[in-house]
Amino acid sequence: MNWAMDELQSRATTQLGRLHDFSDELARIRVRESSADDLITVEVDGSGAMTGLWLADGAGELGGARLGSAIVATAMLAAQRAFARRAAMTEDFTASFAELVQSRPDGSR
């Protein structure tokens, strides 16, 4: 290969590596939120899907309807935090990836 093709392949490999890393970072997002009374703890992933639920002793005393509502409310708070984290990470990635794409092989813009 000639220099231009080698450079193109190197840049593409770097960009694909960064995309892969970002995907891995998003997949590792986990957020835990506890209810105000600490009876319920919920964990969600970066897409807001529940990945864990812990109930403290006494949570059952809330009754079915109140317990269900408290679980949903706690899960919603965790999901909001996960979405905020995902948005911040995406914003950072977008800025850094744009710089990577726009940079020239000689380091200039």
For 20-47, how does the pLDDT look when each residue is reduced to its tens digit (9 = 90+)? Answer: 999 999 999 999 999 999 999 999 999 9
For 70-104, how does the pLDDT look when each residue is reduced to its tens digit (9 = 90+)? Answer: 999 999 999 999 999 999 999 988 888 777 677 66
* Domain 2-102: homologous superfamily in CATH: Nucleoid-associated protein YbaB-like domain (3.30.1310.10)
Domain ranges of the chain: 2-102
* DSSP states of the chain: --HHHHHHHHHHHHHHHHHHHHHHHHHT-EEEEE-TTSSEEEEEETTS-EEEEEE-TTGGGG-HHHHHHHHHHHHHHHHHHHHHHHHHHHHHHHHHHHHHHH--TTS--
